């Protein structure tokens, strides 16, 4: 059983395991292909960057009086997999 380093099940918070191109949570069995998991993790990182930019812009606009800007927030979608950047190991 190979372990996909740094990637965990979002529900169970345990590393994914698998063989070949398929990986899944050993506890709840939610899984996907390596490409599907990579795509979902990339979406999370992009969402995190968008939220950071959104917060910076909001802080600038909050400093302006009478800016008249509506506040539509970027909302997170539920993810099946998570990746802690500190857990990513090269190779």
pLDDT at 1: 60
pLDDT at 16: 94
pLDDT at 83: 87
pLDDT at 88: 46
Q: Is 23:32 a contact under the CB 8 Å cutoff?
A: yes
Please name every residue paired with 24 in a beta bridge, in sequence order, or none if there are none. Answer: 17, 31
Distance CA 50, CA 84 (A): 18
pLDDT at 4: 72
Q: Rounded to whole angstroms, what are the CA distances from 31 to 39, 45, 46?
A: 13, 20, 21
Report if pTM > 0.85: no
Per run of 10 residues, the mean pLDDT along the chain (length 91 residues) is 80 92 95 93 88 83 65 72 63 36
pLDDT at 70: 58
pLDDT at 50: 87
């Amino acid at each position: 059983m190979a372990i996909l380093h740094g990637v965990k099940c979002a529900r169970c918070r345990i590393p994914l395991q698998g063989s070949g191109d398929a990986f899944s949570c050993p506890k709840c069995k939610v899984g996907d292909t390596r490409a599907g998991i990579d795509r979902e993790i990339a979406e999370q990182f992009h969402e995190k960057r968008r939220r950071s930019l959104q917060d910076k812009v909001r802080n600038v606009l909050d400093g302006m009086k009478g800016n008249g800007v509506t506040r539509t927030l970027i909302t997170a979608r539920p993810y099946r997999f998570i990746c802690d950047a500190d857990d990513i190991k090269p190779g």
